[in-house]
Structure 1
Amino acid sequence: MKGVKRLMTFALFSVLVLICAIELWIRNTRSSSADIVVQVFSDTGTVPFKTQPETLMIKHLSYQNVPGRENACIIMLARNSDKKNVVKTLATFESTFNARYMYPYVFFNQEPFDDDFKDAVSSATEAKVRFELIPQDQWSIPPNFNRSAVLESFRKQGERPGLKAELENYHHMCRYFSGFFATHPALRDFKYYWRLEPSVSYYCTLNYDPFELMRKQNKIYGFNIVGVEILWTVPTLWSSTLEYLHSRNRSFPLHLRAFDQRTGDEPESESRYNYKYFFNNFEIADLDFFRSDEYLDYFKFLDDKGGFFFERWGDAPVHTLGIALFLDPSQVHYFHDIGYRHEGYIHCPVDIPEDGVAYETCHCRDQMPKSDSIMRVSDSTWEDALKYYLRIVPELNLESYIG
């Protein structure tokens, strides 16, 4: 009798376990992916990731191998006083992209972030947020330069108003983003980054992951606006780049021709910079490139020249020329479908035929300011620069993007 009772008890227990398992399975299958959050494990810790119910059977999800989830982060350089503008940026960026993908944010500052900034930013997103300090030696005038001479140079540069050249911190920012940023320990374990700025707007809700595109198509750098630099800010940047090529016994790369004033009909004419560059307040790129030996060697060569202080070399033209030196055009991607605005510059994909455009909704045309000062890719200066560059990007059909 005792054996029969034990058998019946075990059978009843088994039935109850089976019923509970079935009920749990039914609940999971009815739940939406937005309701399920698991922890994704990586070398840098854990981050919440919304996933499909069937993947819950996997207890340890690889950071790199989750579908639609790349080894990437969102970066921004900001000050405590930028709090309101940072929150404005996150409001548009979250609603058009990151609220669904939950990529972590990494904020950088030359001084510690205060609690008000941290609380405001952390409340603006459900993604993981890190607040990092820039090393002092990367945000100061190098000891091999005379500080008094550098400050006097800032004063003289400031006689041309509106370009922030009189501000010491602005020079430090350009220098930091030209080379140091990618080597920060907080970015060590990341592969890709998307750069944000305070007070920018994103208009188009994407239905794809740009980081996934970068990986699958073997892209290194992504842009969506070509700008024209102010001539007096970089008077010796081009000659310094040519000097770098000569000092390293490197030939003149084909890609660099996109930024040379010479044409194919004038091969013997003097090589001069055409002052065009990738507007890198928006950029999506591979960190491995900017921390590679060859790129950092180029940055170190430029840094020793002093142009970040005695001139106003911007990080955008430095990035651009570094890309032209070391990358093949096929490794560069034109993100024509990301609607973006920074101050007076705007890229609106509504201007581009919609065949193949990968966004769900886009409101940049509706929200575009009417001011005549707003420059778009369809304006003549930008259009000429973009056309000239696209001619040497083999994957792109020029007529598909610019009429």
Structure 2
Amino acid sequence: MLIPRVSSKLIQRLQLLDSNFDDNFSTNILFLYTDGLYGADFLRLTKTMKRQVLFLNVAQVFNLFPVGFDPCKTKTSYRVRGKWNYLLMIRFWFKTIFELPQLQQYDYIMRLDDDSKIFGRWFNVFDEMRLKNAVYFANNIDIDLEEQLPGTMKMKTVTSDYIQQYNIKPKQLDMLNNAFNNKTVWNYYNNFEVSKVEFFRRKEIRHWIDAIDSTHGIFKYRWGDAVLRYLTLALFAEKREVLHRPDYSLPYCHKCP
């Protein structure tokens, strides 16, 4: 969980995670932070949780731009939450998270944003992924709009060119064809997701991720990690390897009270 600050609402959501996630408190929770946390925050979070709590300062890697990218000279069509802040977060979740050496000891990473909430009883999704030999546990499908995010549809050309150049045979061709519609692109609403670390560290997937990163499309056009995650799975994951939260009726909300 990437947290900008500690609030009473965050504490309540964390307590719901402890009470509703049926893993007998065997799963660690890792708080990623860049700045703004103090000793009292660490203590408060540690005392709140019944499971083991870990902290990792990712400030140095979070604020890294791609090679060859000039943030002073480059223009972007997206200026919400500061010129680069949100776009750096996208790059972090799309690329950097799987490069952190501290996470290589884990089989799976479950992402929850600090404004996400698990409510109702959840079974152990990690066990389900092991049982089904899955590489990804997906949230709802959503869309990004070219009208709202100019440059979104450029991903279609970049993806098509990559497939042709490297002779990629998409694992889920129907999923890939559905991704690009009339001025819209499908995505997985990945404020919740579970990713198999080994899968996203495979050579062919790292090559694709690095290729997307080198286009600087994240920073120029706000290509989201949700869209890029969807495309990654369409290209490299078999249908049976992707599980979907709605199929299991696991109750969840994002930006809810």
CA contact (8 A) 1:182 1:290 kept: yes
Shift of 1:129: 1.2
Which digits, 9 at most, give the CA deviation of each residue in 1:191-234, with x for residues without a partner?
0121111122212113x321111101111111231111132252
- Unmatched tracts of structure 1, length 5 or more: 1-75, 159-163, 263-269, 345-368, 370-403
- In structure 2, give the amino acid aligned to 1:211: F
- In structure 2, give the amino acid aligned to 1:218: N
SS at match of 1:219: coil
CA contact (8 A) 1:82 1:198 kept: no
Partner Cα distance (2:245, 2:68) in 1: 40
The reply to whether residue 277 of structure 1 matches residue 192 of structure 2 is no
The reply to whether residue 209 of structure 1 matches residue 127 of structure 2 is no
The reply to whether residue 93 of structure 1 matches residue 17 of structure 2 is yes
The reply to whether residue 334 of structure 1 matches residue 251 of structure 2 is no
The reply to whether residue 227 of structure 1 matches residue 227 of structure 2 is no
Q: Match for residue 103 of structure 2? A: 187
- Higher Cα Rg, which structure: 1
Change (3 A) 1:194 1:261: closer
Change (3 A) 1:256 1:133: farther
Runs of 4+ in 1 over 3 A off after TM superposition: 82-85, 270-274
CA contact (8 A) 2:153 2:184 kept: no
Q: Match for residue 288 of structure 1? A: 198
Shift of 1:274: 4.5
Q: 2:42 aligns with which of 118, 124, 127?
A: 118
- In structure 2, give the amino acid aligned to 1:157: Y
Partner Cα distance (1:147, 1:295) in 2: 26
- In structure 1, give the amino acid aligned to 2:188: F
The reply to whether residue 245 of structure 1 matches residue 158 of structure 2 is no
Task: Select the structure with the greater relative contact order (CA < 8 A; seq sep ≥ 6).
Answer: 2
Q: Match for residue 116 of structure 2? A: 200
Between stretches 179-188 and 318-327, larger displacement belongs to: 179-188
Q: Match for residue 93 of structure 2? A: 177
Q: 1:149 aligns with which of 62, 70, 73?
A: 73
Partner Cα distance (1:293, 1:228) in 2: 28
Which digits, 9 at most, give the CA deviation of each residue in 1:13-58, with x for residues without a partner?
xxxxxxxxxxxxxxxxxxxxxxxxxxxxxxxxxxxxxxxxxxxxxx
Partner Cα distance (1:213, 1:261) in 2: 27
Q: 1:311 aligns with which of 194, 218, 221?
A: 221
Q: 2:133 aligns with which of 218, 221, 232?
A: 218
Change (3 A) 1:297 1:129: same
Q: TM-score, normalised by structure 1?
A: 0.58
Shift of 1:166: 4.3
Q: Match for residue 35 of structure 1? A: none
Shift of 1:273: 7.3
Change (3 A) 1:204 1:168: same
The reply to whether residue 258 of structure 1 matches residue 175 of structure 2 is yes
Shift of 1:184: 1.0
- Unmatched tracts of structure 2, length 5 or more: none
Shift of 1:177: 0.3
Shift of 1:167: 3.9
Shift of 1:118: 0.9
Q: Match for residue 377 of structure 1? A: none
Shift of 1:309: 0.8
Shift of 1:340: 0.3
% identity of equivalent residues: 22
Shift of 1:271: 8.2
